[in-house]
Structure 1
Amino acid sequence: MASINEVRFNGLLRFGRCALSNNTLTTTSSSSKEDDMRILIAVLTLPDQYLRRHFLRLIYGSQNPEGAKVDVKFVFCNLTKDDQKVLVALEIMRYDDIIILNCTENMNKGKTSTFFSTLPEIFNETNGNNVPYPPYHYVMKADDDTFVRLNSLVESLKPLPREDLYYGFVIPCGSMDPFKHYMSGMGFVVSWDIVEWIHGSDIPKKHVEGPEDKVFGDWMRWGKRGQNRFNAKWSMYNYPDPPSVCSHELVPNTIAVHLLKNQEKWIHTLNFFNFTRDLKPSKMYHIS
């Protein structure tokens, strides 16, 4: 444990990088909106999680990342109840931020596979002459108990490749080697070419069932994809309570905090990052 702790806290805010390419990565900037990074964050959730979706809309709608266009969508399988068909339809009419997959809700029987396989059918086929390709440079699959700080995510991705990229919090928790196993489901990122590969390859189709983040890592290994791998430890981590080898205290240079299972943990996290600092003074309210 001593060696793990030394790695964890001596390099706490260092962004672990490991790639098979020897090319030097440089950050580029452009004033052109067409050149801005495009990111899709897909929050996998359940149809009945109405309050959680509304809360996350506040969280992500209150952030304004610079130099990137970030779309947040909520993803779940087919609706099964009459109330869902009304309430979810109202959400779509109001927010237009929901993707309903043609599947039955499940934990480890292919929801992730269905999601990634469906994306090119949704976005490539609607790609008109005036719409840039790819529709997104990166796709992030995130849990609905993860808080992603969008500016930190964007800044961490800016110098990275936009092809064959697999990025996240590497499992096992004690490892800093992104090729060790796979990236945690708290929130991992892949480039659009990997999304298209999943859509067309037989490898994901033949290996669907099992712990889905581990299964995803199997696809990458068997298909020799995701050769540009980036370990975002320890800027991504589990909430500090309960303490574990995957968690540490909240720190300023955070990209994502996972396992925010209740309101108390969310409020503590938002207060730590002074999330409401941009609230403008007004005679209409007083919040001390």
Structure 2
Amino acid sequence: MVVVKSSKPNRKHFMLYCFISIFFLCILASINELRFDNLVSFGRCSLSNSSSISNKQQQEIRILIGILTLPDQYLRRHFLRLVYGTQNPEGAKIDVKFVFCNLTKEEQKTTIALEIMRYNDIIILNCTENMNKGKTSTFFTTLPSIFNETVKGPNYPPYHYVMKADDDTYVRLNSLVKSLKPLPSEDLYYGFVIPCGSMDPFKHYMSGMGFLVSWDIVEWIHGSDIPKKHVEGPEDKVFGDWMRWGRRGLNRYNAKWAMYNYPDPPSVCSHDLVHDTIAVHLLKNQEKWVKTLNFFNHTAPLMQSNLYQHLS
């Protein structure tokens, strides 16, 4: 006779198995509670950041470009006013200001007073004109006082970003704005990484041709002792030291190779002019400026008129 074993499970064994499983699940849940909470917080943070970037892409961003130049460079300033005044950036309000130290000549005081009355685009710092002895430091340190936005009111911050640029750099404003739209609006350090062969913005620093930071970094420079204690030296390297020592600029953007030096003479920092460009540096003479503006068809929006029939 064949004995057939019942397929019905042993009820006692089954209940014991369930009890042990529930017990271990409770322990596991207790151990991972903190991790789960952190995961939820991280998710909320990620959603918040995504929402912030989305809102920023929809709103008009405000940018200050400070062009560090010399008081006697009258013709260069007038030319740059034409270059920047004929650009119409979309989705941003961009103010271009010319920055220099205290005036030393009566001619400067009179002529620059006329410029201020006409254009209102000059910032005069309380310093002695210099290249690597603190002019850039004075510029960034002074900005919060100039714009007097210490209280976070409805117009805070006065600018989302501040860019320091050389007067031989051509910044294409729409390209700049387009590159900034997806980036964070806080703790941002943006530019062309030096040395030229480097692509690591966390190991090195941004070239003085034109580097940009968010407004919270400007406020930090204003209040921190780090910039006050380290002033002299190549201004872009000194600025990079501040970022590293103060653990600032944790959001970094290397705009290479959309920012570069003019191709003549050739160098490791340069390449041919390309349409996907944010800034071209080392435009040391009018010929280079004209070739650059023509390459980018800068005067294309010029309307036809009987007043100037032979410009095209």
Bin for the TM-score computed over the shorter chain: 0.7 to 0.9
Computing the radius of gyration from Cα coordinates, the structure with the larger value is: 2
Matches within 5 A, 1:32-181: 35-125=59-149, 132-181=155-204
Provide the C-alpha distance between the structure 2 equivalents of 1:229 and 1:30, rounded to a whole number of angstroms: 18
Normalised TM-score (structure 2) = 0.81
Q: Is the 8 A contact 1:127 1:135 kept in 2?
A: no
Q: How many residues align?
A: 264
Q: Is the 8 A contact 2:205 2:237 kept in 1?
A: yes
Q: Which amino acid aligns with 1:81?
A: K
Q: Which of 45, 49, 54 is the equivalent residue of 1:28?
A: 54
Q: Which amino acid aligns with 2:276?
A: N
Q: Which amino acid aligns with 1:78?
A: N
Matches within 5 A, 1:8-27: none
Q: Is the 8 A contact 1:38 1:70 kept in 2?
A: yes
Q: Which of 255, 276, 279 is the equivalent residue of 2:299?
A: 276
Q: Which amino acid aligns with 2:249?
A: G
Measured at CA, do residues 272 and 108 of structure 1 come closer, stay the same or move farther in structure 2, by a change above 3 Å? same
Q: Is the 8 A contact 1:136 1:192 kept in 2?
A: yes
Provide the C-alpha distance between the structure 2 equivalents of 1:132 and 1:159, rounded to a whole number of angstroms: 22
| Larger RCO (CA within 8 A; separation ≥ 6) | 1
Give unpaired runs (5+ residues) of structure 1. 1-21
SS of the residue corresponding to residue 86 of structure 1 reads helix
SS of the residue corresponding to residue 55 of structure 1 reads helix
Measured at CA, do residues 256 and 31 of structure 1 come closer, stay the same or move farther in structure 2, by a change above 3 Å? closer
Q: Is the 8 A contact 2:170 2:281 kept in 1?
A: yes
Provide the C-alpha distance between the structure 1 equivalents of 2:212 and 2:128, rounded to a whole number of angstroms: 24
Q: Give 1:267's aligned residue.
A: 290
Provide the C-alpha distance between the structure 2 equivalents of 1:117 and 1:128, rounded to a whole number of angstroms: 18
Provide the C-alpha distance between the structure 1 equivalents of 2:145 and 2:278, rounded to a whole number of angstroms: 30
Q: Deviations over 1:109-168 (max 9, x none)?
A: 100110000000011359896x61000000000000000000000000000001000000
1:203 is the counterpart of 2:212: no
Percent identical residues: 80
Q: Is the 8 A contact 2:57 2:181 kept in 1?
A: no
Q: Is the 8 A contact 1:170 1:180 kept in 2?
A: no
Q: Is the 8 A contact 2:57 2:182 kept in 1?
A: no
Q: Is the 8 A contact 2:263 2:271 kept in 1?
A: yes
Provide the C-alpha distance between the structure 2 equivalents of 1:65 and 1:29, rounded to a whole number of angstroms: 18
Which structure has the highest helix share of the two?
2
Normalised TM-score (structure 1) = 0.88
Q: Give 2:215's aligned residue.
A: 192
Q: Which amino acid aligns with 1:205?
A: K
The alignment yields a C-alpha RMSD, in angstroms, of 1.9
Provide the C-alpha distance between the structure 2 equivalents of 1:149 and 1:31, rounded to a whole number of angstroms: 19
Provide the C-alpha distance between the structure 1 equivalents of 2:162 and 2:129, rounded to a whole number of angstroms: 21
Q: Give 1:234's aligned residue.
A: 257
